A and B are shown apart, each in its own frame.
Chain A
Amino acid sequence: MAMKEEIVRKIAILSRINVSDDELDNISRELGSIIDWIELLKEVDTQSVEPMTGGTDIKSFKREDIVNDGGYQEKILKNAPSKNDNLFEVPKVVE
């Protein structure tokens, strides 16, 4: 079933993707058929199954609290489209 166009528009905004009006129809149908396909999984009974977090049996690993990273300002800022005085510069975002 095709996805509602208003939902497609909303997802597009949340994903920061520009979708023009004449693309909407096609995307609605494509996303709809993906959802339908995923819906199939609901038919499996998973009531008593814990969510799986990986294919191996490893437990969470913890780091020691040591400073051993950072201190490379120039690398962090290297790809910035615009910078000023070691700060990233972006269009004004103000509340």
Chain B
Amino acid sequence: MSLVIKGSTKEWEVVIGLEVHAQITSKSKLFSGASVNFGADPNSQVSFIDAGMPGMLPVINRVCVEQAIKTGLGLKAKINLKSVFARKNYFYADLPQGYQISQYELPIVGEGVIELDMSDGQTRSIGIERLHLEQDAGKSIHDLHPEKSFIDLNRSGIALMEIVSKPDMRSPEEVGAYLRKLRSILRYLGTCDGNMDEGSMRCDANVSVRPVGSEELRTRCEIKNVNSVKFVMQAIEYEAKRQVDIYETNGEVLQETRLFDQSKVETRPMRSKEFAHDYRYFPDPDLLPLELDQKYVDKIKQNLPELPDEKKSRFISEYNLAEYDAGVLVSENAVADYFEIVTKGRDPKISANWVITNLFSVLNKKGLSIKESPVSALNLGQLIGLIEKNIISGRIAKDVFEIMVEEQKSPEAIVEEKGLRQISDTGSIEAAVEDVISENPDKVKEYKGGKTKLIGWFVGQVMKKTKGKANPGLVNKVLSEKL
């Protein structure tokens, strides 16, 4: 699944590592008691600590620490019982302290791994380098005035987890799969809502290229803050080609930070100050090292929810589902829960099919999430029950489902109300079959002359006469007897 770029001299592959900033789900900020609610009035959720006022001291939020540990455990990573906060110094208008409190040499979480299921059926393991806790900066607004920028500090001090991958990805597809998988894990854990539109999950990509077969790591460029999975993938593709062109014309790739322009689908260098990368990290003297108790970590581990990979294995072994179907169903916790209600006491493969094919197409069409589904899981389960008990046919079930989408009634009520019960008594089916036979003597002649494929046409005619309500198995049986 590597992206191979054919140059004029040789073939190139792309090497990608990601830094994801995930906003921790909590009520208050990492080091202050100000609220983290999205969309509040500017500067209304700012404490003196977040505003960088002199003399204020940061105190760490217990829940934020716990969320970082949970996430680390979800990434099968090592939890460091001692970690240290450091100051990352840089000058910018939305950073009132003049430094960001982050972690440098000793992060709270060490190496872990994320497993990706690729569309060709292959699995890829992407290494996690580290996860550390840090503060977010304020928000700059540039488009309100030609000569001024405006600063809202509501976001200043909100807790982030920076999740750094190893340079293990080789194509935009793998990057897309990594981001979706990471988001799914974070949502299962409830440690980040994963909402890229609201900026609660942001991504920087480190991209370099090298000749296929080579193991070297060449100079990389960092693409900053791209705010959707689609744009990250586009940015990487553009950036890889740009670097190949440079090498092919004997140029040198410069290590730099680049911005992705969504409208032009290209990356361009940030007007970077030459000292931008001189962060002068040092341990923050305002904060003691963060020390954790192994028992505390173990307790969090015991209470972890079932994660996507485990749930998928269980769906395959417990419900005998195909790999692909199981993967689709576990991508969101809410979908998996919905499926498990639908299939309770019913055939899992048929249930999976109804959720993935019929329900998803309705949700997509209406732009709804599973939680807003017009058809409840209990009702969809009942509908499948009606098919299994031969009360309605699969075809009629589709009509009933359409009505359920519009009217939110139970399938049983709809079947009774519209008289859709399947006809399973041989008498009325025989009558319908005889009618069809006597009305179409020429077709009968053809059939008897060897054109046995006409059976399908006969079934269709009987169905038409019975308004689709005849039991198809019985129709077939009676037809072959009578013809």
Where the two chains meet, the residues of A that have a C-beta atom closer than 8 Å to any C-beta of B are 10, 13-14, 16, 51, 53-54, 58-71, 73, 75-77, 84-95
**CB–CB A90/B270 < 8 A:** no
The secondary-structure label for the interface of chain A is loop
**CB–CB A88/B288 < 8 A:** no
**CB–CB B147/A70 < 8 A:** no
Q: How many residues of B contact A (CB 8 A)?
A: 53
**CB–CB B150/A66 < 8 A:** no
Q: Does B142 contact A (CB under 8 A)?
A: yes
Known: A71-B45, A87-B42. A58 touches B288 (CB 8 A): yes
**CB–CB A95/B259 < 8 A:** yes
**CB–CB B142/A70 < 8 A:** no
**CB–CB B148/A92 < 8 A:** yes
**CB–CB A60/B51 < 8 A:** no
Contact of A67 among B34, B145, B149, B280 (CB under 8 A): B34
Q: Does B111 contact A (CB under 8 A)?
A: no
Contact of A70 among B47, B89, B91, B287 (CB under 8 A): B47
B26 to chain A, nearest CB (A): 5
In the complex, A61 Cα to B287 Cα: how many Å?
9
Q: Does B235 contact A (CB under 8 A)?
A: no
In the complex, A16 Cα to B273 Cα: how many Å?
13
**Which of B101-129 touch A at CB < 8 Å?**
none
**CB–CB B288/A59 < 8 A:** yes
A71-B44, A89-B151 given. 8 additional CB < 8 A pairs?
Answer: A59-B291, A61-B60, A63-B28, A67-B27, A68-B33, A76-B46, A86-B44, A93-B149
Closest to A75 in B: B48
Where the two chains meet, the residues of B that have a C-beta atom closer than 8 Å to any C-beta of A are 26-28, 32-35, 41-51, 59-65, 89, 91-93, 140-142, 145-153, 259, 270-271, 275, 278, 280, 283, 287-291
**CB–CB B152/A87 < 8 A:** yes
Contact of A73 among B41, B140, B146 (CB under 8 A): B41
Residues of chain B within 8 A (CB-CB) of A88 are: 43, 93, 150-153
Known: A60-B287, A64-B62, A76-B51. A86 touches B42 (CB 8 A): yes
**CB–CB B142/A94 < 8 A:** yes
Known: A64-B62, A67-B33, A86-B41. A93 touches B93 (CB 8 A): yes
B244 to chain A, nearest CB (A): 25
Residues of chain A within 8 A (CB-CB) of B41 are: 73, 86
Residues of chain B within 8 A (CB-CB) of A66 are: 27-28, 33
Contact of B289 among A60, A62, A63 (CB under 8 A): A60
**CB–CB A76/B153 < 8 A:** yes
Residues of chain B within 8 A (CB-CB) of A85 are: 42, 150
A25 to chain B, nearest CB (A): 23
Q: 21 A-B pairs, CB-CB below 8 angstroms? A: A14-B91, A58-B288, A61-B60, A65-B61, A65-B64, A70-B33, A70-B34, A70-B44, A75-B48, A85-B42, A86-B43, A87-B43, A89-B148, A90-B93, A90-B149, A91-B147, A92-B148, A92-B149, A94-B142, A95-B270, A95-B271
Closest to B28 in A: A67
Contact of B45 among A51, A62, A63, A70 (CB under 8 A): A70
Contact of A90 among B44, B46, B148, B288 (CB under 8 A): B148
**CB–CB B27/A87 < 8 A:** no
